[in-house]
């Protein structure tokens, strides 16, 4: 079997915060079911401190770490906006520059390319 050639930036990690475990699981499951993500890790127990409408806020949240194909980020963001209770959900990404070749193959095999 020939090795898969990996191009830096082909995949990304997207970070999304959620207010509850229920919301986090709903979004994570929807992203995987709709082939917008290969895997979503849900990290509980984060504290977010931010300025909102002129006031410093502090909230307990969960962090979703979403592994996806970079070309799917716009569609993924649209899905999150439609299924998230926040009026301005956090959806930010960073490209994957390198990684374990078999895991990168798993990402490639799990998320179809846009046609």
Residue 4 reports pLDDT greater than 90: no
Q: What's residue 6's pLDDT?
A: 80
| Domains of the chain from N-terminus onward | 11-110 (3.30.70.120)
Residue 2 reports pLDDT greater than 50: no
Confidence band, pLDDT 50/70/90 cuts, at residue 5: low
pTM: 0.92
For residues 3 and 101, the answer to whether their CB atoms sit within 8 Å is: yes
Q: What is 41-71 written as a DSSP string?
A: EEEEEEEEEEEETTEEEEEEEEEEEEEEEGG
For 89, the 3-state DSSP assignment is coil
- Average pLDDT score over the chain: 94
d(CA 34, CA 74) in angstroms, rounded, equals 14
Convert the pLDDT of each residue in 50-104 to its tens digit. 999 999 999 999 999 999 999 999 999 999 999 999 999 999 999 999 999 999 9
d(CA 9, CA 23) in angstroms, rounded, equals 28
């Amino acid at each position: 079997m020939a090795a898969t050639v990996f191009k830096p930036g082909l995949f990304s990690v997207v970070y999304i915060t959620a207010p509850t475990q229920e919301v986090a699981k709903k979004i994570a499951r929807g992203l995987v079911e709709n082939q917008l993500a290969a895997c979503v890790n849900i990290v509980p127990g984060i504290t977010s401190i931010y300025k909102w409408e002129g006031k410093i806020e502090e909230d307990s949240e969960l962090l979703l770490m979403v592994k996806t194909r970079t070309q799917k980020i716009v569609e993924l963001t649209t899905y999150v906006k439609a299924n998230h209770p926040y009026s301005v959900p956090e959806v930010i990404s960073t490209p994957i520059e390198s990684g374990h070749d078999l895991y990168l193959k798993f990402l490639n095999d799990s998320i179809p390319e846009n046609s």
